């Protein structure tokens, strides 16, 4: 099969992925072979490919095929697989597998299972024509969603859903979305579904245009104005949700949030000084459990959650990574093998 393979860490500008022919994998017991129809390109892919996540042990092997938001068709069933059929349209998200035995798995929180494996980071991912998946962690996808619009549901969609769920939004709340990209543009939509008013903060005009198109009430270009001052003028935020990978942005979000408010953070940042007497709540967030993934697919199937995407052939994976790095992707880029 054809695949985009990472052999060594290099900057996106140096075309770190090679397009090559590799053996098509075979599904083992409890696994399925999926023909990939579309795979979204996530900023975490970029962090991994450029070597920024070596400190976290990511990836766990080289060479590796990246990609963890995938739509495809089941073409082969491994031994013991039940509840799936050949020809089923399915999605695969970052959580490739979980142990199923630990307290977190038993409480429906398998996305923080200490023994989980990550698609495209511990096992080969979706920048390829085929991928092997754990049958317990694939999700059937309705026919009214195209592969290109459905693929990003399986990372930005579930990640945004998890963040908004932790924010505990209610009608009339004012929520700031710091970082309007793949995840941020879905956070905006989910916050609006909860009846909140949205303040979109970004340093790029193309991202703010996306936020305006989706219904954000206030737009703040942080490269031109101090977002803390601008937000304080409108009364501050009940909730801040941060998906810009910047400690400075996280600090701005914290300062913009009212006393006793909530700050939800889904990226690596350093928080620094913490004024405990303001009684603000800081919550980390990462993807979400399987029941939430099914809810995201349902919302999209009913037209309540839209993916803004731009599509590229697999051969342009390096070009897409460069565009993503330099803020030239409006929301989500999707690769088509």
Domains assigned to the chain = 2-155+287-336 (3.90.180.10), 157-284 (3.40.50.720)
Residue 148 per-residue DSSP state: H
Q: How far is CA 82 from the centre of its chain?
A: 28
The confidence score (pLDDT) of residue 27 equals 98
The confidence score (pLDDT) of residue 144 equals 97
Structure tokens of 230? 């601008």
Question: In terms of pTM, does the model score above 0.75?
Answer: yes
The confidence score (pLDDT) of residue 225 equals 96
Structure tokens of 229? 């001052």
Query: SS3 of 194, please?
Result: coil
The confidence score (pLDDT) of residue 209 equals 97
Pick from 121, 119, 149: nearest CA to 37: 149
The confidence score (pLDDT) of residue 317 equals 98
The confidence score (pLDDT) of residue 335 equals 98
Average pLDDT, 10 consecutive residues per value, the chain (337 residues)? 98 98 98 98 97 95 98 98 96 97 96 97 98 98 97 98 96 97 97 98 96 98 97 97 96 98 96 94 96 98 97 98 96 97
The confidence score (pLDDT) of residue 10 equals 97
User: What is the three-state SS of 28-67?
Assistant: CCCEEEEEEEEEEECHHHHHHHCCCCHHHCCCCCCCECCC
61 burial level (CB within 10 Å; 0-12, 13-18, 19+): exposed
| Distances, alpha carbon 79 to alpha carbons 103, 119, 126, 280, in Å | 27, 21, 22, 50
Contact by Cβ (8 Å): 147, 71? yes
Give 3-state DSSP helix, strand, coil % of the chain, rounded to 5: 30, 30, 40
């Amino acid at each position: 099969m054809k695949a985009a393979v990472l052999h060594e860490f290099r900057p996106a500008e140096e075309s770190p992925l090679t397009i090559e022919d590799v053996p098509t994998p075979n599904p083992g017991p409890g696994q399925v072979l999926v023909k990939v129809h579309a795979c979204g390109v996530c900023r975490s892919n970029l962090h991994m490919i450029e070597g920024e996540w070596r400190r976290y042990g990511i990836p766990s092997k080289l060479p590796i095929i990246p990609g963890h938001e995938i739509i495809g068709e089941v073409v082969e069933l491994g031994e013991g697989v039940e509840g799936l059929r050949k020809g089923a349209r399915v999605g695969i998200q970052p959580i490739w597998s979980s142990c199923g035995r630990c307290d977190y798995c038993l409480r429906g929180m398998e996305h923080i299972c200490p023994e989980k494996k990550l698609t495209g980071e511990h096992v080969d991912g979706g920048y390829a024509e085929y991928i092997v998946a754990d049958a317990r962690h694939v999700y059937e996808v309705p026919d009214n969603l195209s592969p290109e619009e459905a693929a990003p549901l399986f990372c930005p969609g579930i990640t945004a859903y998890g963040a908004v769920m932790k924010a505990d939004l209610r009608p009339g709340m004012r929520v700031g979305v710091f970082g309007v990209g793949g995840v941020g543009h879905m956070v905006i939509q989910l916050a609006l579904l909860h009846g909140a008013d949205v303040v979109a903060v970004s340093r790029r005009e193309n991202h703010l245009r996306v936020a305006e198109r989706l219904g954000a009430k206030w737009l703040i270009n942080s490269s031109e104005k101090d977002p803390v001052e601008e937000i304080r003028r409108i009364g501050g935020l009940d909730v801040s949700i941060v998906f810009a990978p910047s400690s400075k942005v996280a600090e701005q979000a914290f300062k913009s949030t009212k006393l006793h408010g909530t700050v939800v953070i889904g990226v690596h940042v350093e928080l620094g000084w913490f004024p405990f007497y303001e009684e603000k709540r800081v919550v980390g967030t990462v993807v979400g459990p399987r029941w939430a993934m099914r809810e995201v697919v349902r919302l999209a199937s009913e037209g309540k959650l839209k993916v803004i995407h731009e599509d590229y052939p697999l051969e342009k994976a390096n070009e897409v990574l460069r565009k993503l790095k330099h803020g030239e992707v409006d929301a989500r880029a999707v690769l088509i093998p």
